[in-house]
Amino acid sequence: MLSLLRTRRWLGFTVVVIVSIAAFGLLSLWQWHRANDKRDQRIELQNALAAAPLPLDEVAITDGAIEDLDQWRHVTVTGTYLPDTQVLVRKRPLDAHNGFWAMTALRESDGTVVWVNRGWLPTAGDALSTPEIGEPPGGIVDVTGYLRPFEEADPGANEGLPAGQIAAVAPALLPSISEPFSGYIQLQLSEPEESDLVALPLPDVDESRNISYAVQWLIFAFVAVGGWFFFLRREAIEDKKRSEAEPEKAEA
């Protein structure tokens, strides 16, 4: 077998196998890191959801942004909806159906205004049609939900969209309001209740798929090693048989 490994063909094949094994190992390591990141996200999400609802005015804000630990924080807020601010966020699928998020600003008694994602509704006809949506509950409303950071978007992303539709939940695209809170609430419950909208489900963070991918890449690496050894041994056996058969032919 050592003589075979000195040939140009087997040297090239061995280099290809080594590079493949290294690539499979790096891909496996990357998936392990992805799994660890998702595990941390899942634990943070579970801790945030398990915490008792916190009044919105007690949530920590640093440099105008929600702290990482407060993302998905269970919060409560009481105020009055501002119907004139209501807009629909495009391209928000749910259960394989395209639809919109209904965003409406809610003003607290101290004047602070927070955007509330009141829920989901399906598209009506083509993508440029704005579906009918009822007015938000009137009077004083108690909202319980989950704190979410704003999205990022180009200020011109709304150009060409029908009236009442926006491209993302971003301050630059939402209607201008005074004293806005630095984030929005994904509604879970409200009193009075919402009737025309579907409450958004919570995210499902699962690292098991990344773990399975990491194991698969390791299996590919072992297969590459096994295949290299199998073909090397088979060719060595065939060479030995040929070398043993040549003297017999010469004697005959």
Architecture of domain 73-191: Beta Barrel (2.40)
Residue 160 in this model has a pLDDT that exceeds 80: yes
Q: What is the pLDDT of residue 40?
A: 80
| Separation in Å, CA 112 to CA 45, 77, 79, 170 | 27, 10, 9, 18
Site of tokens 């007015």: 135
Q: What is the pLDDT of residue 248?
A: 56
Overall average pLDDT of the 133-142 stretch: 89
Overall average pLDDT of the 160-187 stretch: 88
- Would you call 174 exposed, middle or buried from its count of C-beta atoms within 10 A (0-12, 13-18, 19+)? buried
Give the whole-number percent of the chain exceeding pLDDT 90.
33
Residue 128 in this model has a pLDDT that exceeds 60: yes
Most confident of 7-11, 99-103, 152-156, 230-234: 99-103
162 vs 203, more confident = 162
Segment among 17-21, 48-52, 59-63, 124-128 with least mean pLDDT: 59-63
Q: What is the pLDDT of residue 37?
A: 85
Tokens of 145: 């939900």
DSSP letters, 31-96, are HHHHHHHHHHHHHHHHHHHHSPPEEGGGS-EETTEE-GGGTT-EEEEEEEEEEEEEEEES---BTT
Q: What is the pLDDT of residue 109?
A: 86
148 vs 43, more confident = 148
Least Cα distance to 202 among 190, 191, 189, 186 occurs for 186
Residue 63 in this model has a pLDDT that exceeds 80: no
Strands 113-122 and 99-108: antiparallel
pLDDT band, residue 112 (cuts 50/70/90): confident
pLDDT band, residue 244 (cuts 50/70/90): low
Q: Where are the domains of the chain?
A: 73-191
Helices and strands in the chain: count of H runs, count of E runs = 3, 9
Residue 74 in this model has a pLDDT that exceeds 70: yes
Q: What is the pLDDT of residue 142?
A: 94
pLDDT band, residue 143 (cuts 50/70/90): very high
* Average pLDDT over the chain, rounded to an integer: 84
